[in-house]
Amino acid sequence: MISTELAARLREAGLVWRPADGDRFRIDAADLSAEVFTVSTMTIEAHDYPTGTILGFNGTTEWALDSVAIEDALWLPREDQLRELLRSTFRGLTRTHEGGAERYEVEVELLGEPRTFSAADAAEAYGTALLALVELSA
């Protein structure tokens, strides 16, 4: 899972979330910031209205939540979602060992030039590459 910091940077850069089953997110509230929720038609369902998307909490009385606006939720995209969002810019993922520590390098092509993004976690490397792509697209 990508870090909350990277997820926030992706949102600020303009990445748009369209909630689907299996998506993970956090709620922008101090007392819930450590909790990770998963969209599921059984418990948390996305409801689209003309005024925006609301995440409805179905039968989750332990949280005393009925719903939360999508603007108050922070999407934590999965590795496969990040790779998909890179689309045709994605060139490859390589696992390396740097100073005895395992690292992951994602290679993408941005503006006709190869670029490599490295992190200790593959999802974080994908996310950093996607952030560069989103920032270039803005």
Amino acid at 71: E
Q: What is the pLDDT along the chain (138 residues), one digit of tens a residue?
A: 899 999 999 999 999 999 998 999 999 888 887 889 888 766 777 888 898 888 887 665 445 566 788 899 999 999 999 999 999 999 999 999 978 899 999 999 999 999 999 999 999 999 999 999 999 998
- Structural domain spans, the chain: 4-75, 79-137
Per the DSSP assignment, residues forming a β-bridge with 46 are 55
Q: Closest by alpha carbon to 39, among 10, 15, 75, 12? A: 75
| Torsion sign across C-alpha atoms 85, 90, 94, 98 | negative
Q: Say what the pTM is.
A: 0.84
Cα 64 → chain centroid: 25
Decide if domain 79-137 falls under CATH 3.30.160.
yes
Cα 136 → chain centroid: 18
